[in-house]
C-alpha cells in the first residue's frame, strides 16, 4: 500500500505537468481556430454584402436608389426593374449566346480533359511528364497576353464575330486536365485491369470505369469552368462587335451605356439575373464540389 502511495506521489507532478501541457496545447488550438473563423467571417461579410446590395437595388424604385442616407431594405419593393432589364436591351439574345457558348465550351473541355487525363494517368509513353508539365505551364500565361496574337489569327481565319472565336480557344483546359488526371490516379488499378481482361478498350475504360468513379471531380471542374466562362467579359468584348454575338457580361455594359443617365436599379436587376444561375448551381453542386476537391489529391 505504501509503495503504491509513493508511486502515485512520484507520478502526480508528471501527470499535472502533462495535463498543463495538454491544456496549453488545447488553448493554442482554440486561439488558432478563433482567428481562422474570425477571418472567414469577415471574408464572408465582404463577399456577401455586395450581393445583398445588388439584390436590394434591383427591387428598389429609382427614387430610392439615389436617396441619402441609403437603405438596404426598400420601402416599396418593385419587380418592374427586371422587366425593363429584359426588354430594354436584346437581353434574351445575350442570354442565348451565353448559354450556347458556355455549354459548347464545357462539352469540349469534358471530352478533352477525359482523353488527356487518361493518357497522362494510365498510358506510358516517352516524354509524358515533360508534356504534362508543359500543359501545367500554360496555366501561368494570362489570357490577356494571348489576346492580340489570337485576334490576328482569328482575323486571318475569318472567325471574328463568330461563335468559333468564342468557343474553340477554350476547348482545352490545363486545370481540367490536371484535376481529372488526379482523380483518375485515385481509381484502383485493379478495376482498370479487370476491365482490360473483359476486353474493354481505352474508350470503354474511360466511359464505364474512370468517369463514373470520378464524377465529383468532373462536377467540380464543370462548376468552376462554368463560372469562369459565364462571367467572361474580356474575350467576348475583343472577339465580337455586333449585338447579335454579345454575351451577358458584355451586354450588361452596353445596357448601362445605352441611356443618357444610368438607371442603376435596372442594371442591378440585370446583374442579379446574370449571377443567379451560378448561385443556384453552386448550391446544388456544393456537395460534389467539396468531394471533388478532396478526392483529387496530389498523387503521381
Residues contacting 184, CB < 8 A, separation 6+: 117, 118, 121, 122, 210, 214
CA angle 196, 201, 204 (to 5 degrees): 100
Q: Which of 138, 282, 155 is nearest to 220 (CA)?
A: 282
CA angle 293, 295, 296 (to 5 degrees): 65
Domain ranges of the chain: 2-58, 81-295
215-230 and 174-185 helices, crossing angle to 10°:
170
Q: Do residues 134 and 75 touch, judged by C-beta distance below 8 A? A: no
Q: Which of 151, 289, 115 is nearest to 218 (CA)?
A: 289
Predicted confidence at residue 62, as pLDDT, reads: 79
Summarised one tens digit per residue, pLDDT across range 247-266 is: 999 988 877 654 556 778 88
Torsion sign (Cα): 37, 182, 116, 125: positive
State the CB neighbour count (10 A cutoff) for residue 56. 19
The CATH code for residues 81-295 is 1.10.3720.10
* Dist. CA 79–CA 262, nearest whole Å: 18
* Dist. CA 51–CA 288, nearest whole Å: 24
Predicted confidence at residue 292, as pLDDT, reads: 58
Render each residue's pLDDT in the chain as its tens digit; 300 residues. Answer: 445 545 444 444 555 555 555 555 566 676 787 788 888 888 888 888 888 888 888 888 877 777 777 777 777 888 888 888 888 778 889 999 999 999 999 999 999 999 999 999 998 888 888 999 888 888 888 888 888 899 999 999 999 999 999 999 999 889 999 989 988 998 888 988 888 888 888 899 999 999 998 888 898 898 889 999 999 999 999 999 888 899 999 988 877 654 556 778 888 888 899 999 988 888 887 776 666 555 555 444
Q: Do residues 81 and 271 touch, judged by C-beta distance below 8 A? A: no
Q: Do residues 210 and 191 touch, judged by C-beta distance below 8 A? A: no
- Written as nine digits, the cell of 70 is 441609403
Amino acid at each position: 500500500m505504501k509503495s503504491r502511495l509513493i508511486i502515485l506521489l512520484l507520478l502526480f507532478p508528471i501527470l499535472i505537468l502533462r495535463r498543463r501541457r495538454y491544456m496549453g496545447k488545447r488553448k493554442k488550438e482554440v486561439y488558432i481556430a478563433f482567428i481562422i473563423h474570425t477571418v472567414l467571417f469577415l471574408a464572408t461579410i465582404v463577399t456577401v454584402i455586395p450581393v445583398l446590395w445588388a439584390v436590394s437595388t434591383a427591387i428598389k424604385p429609382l427614387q430610392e436608389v439615389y436617396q441619402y442616407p441609403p437603405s438596404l431594405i426598400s420601402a416599396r419593393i418593385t419587380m418592374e426593374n427586371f422587366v425593363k432589364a429584359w426588354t430594354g436591351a436584346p437581353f434574351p439574345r445575350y442570354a442565348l449566346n451565353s448559354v450556347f457558348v458556355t455549354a459548347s465550351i464545357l462539352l469540349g473541355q469534358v471530352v478533352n480533359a477525359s482523353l488527356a487525363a487518361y493518357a497522362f494517368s494510365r498510358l506510358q509513353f516517352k516524354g509524358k511528364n515533360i508534356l504534362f508539365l508543359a500543359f501545367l505551364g500554360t496555366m501561368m500565361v494570362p489570357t490577356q497576353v494571348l489576346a492580340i496574337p489570337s485576334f490576328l489569327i482569328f482575323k486571318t481565319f475569318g472567325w471574328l464575330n463568330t461563335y468559333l472565336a468564342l468557343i474553340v480557344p477554350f476547348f482545352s483546359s490545363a486545370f481540367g486536365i490536371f484535376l481529372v488526371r488526379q482523380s483518375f490516379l485515385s481509381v484502383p488499378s485493379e478495376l482498370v485491369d479487370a476491365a482490360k481482361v473483359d476486353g474493354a478498350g481505352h474508350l470503354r475504360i474511360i466511359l464505364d470505369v474512370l468517369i463514373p468513379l470520378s464524377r465529383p471531380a468532373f462536377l467540380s471542374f464543370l462548376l468552376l469552368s462554368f463560372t469562369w466562362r459565364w462571367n467572361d467579359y474580356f474575350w467576348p468584348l475583343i472577339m465580337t462587335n455586333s449585338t447579335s454575338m454579345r454575351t451577358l457580361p458584355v451586354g450588361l455594359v452596353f445596357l448601362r451605356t445605352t441611356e443618357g443617365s444610368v438607371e442603376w436599379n435596372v442594371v442591378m436587376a440585370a446583374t442579379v439575373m446574370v449571377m443567379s444561375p451560378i448561385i443556384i448551381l453552386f448550391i446544388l453542386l456544393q456537395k460534389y464540389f467539396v468531394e471533388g476537391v478532396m478526392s483529387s489529391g496530389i498523387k503521381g
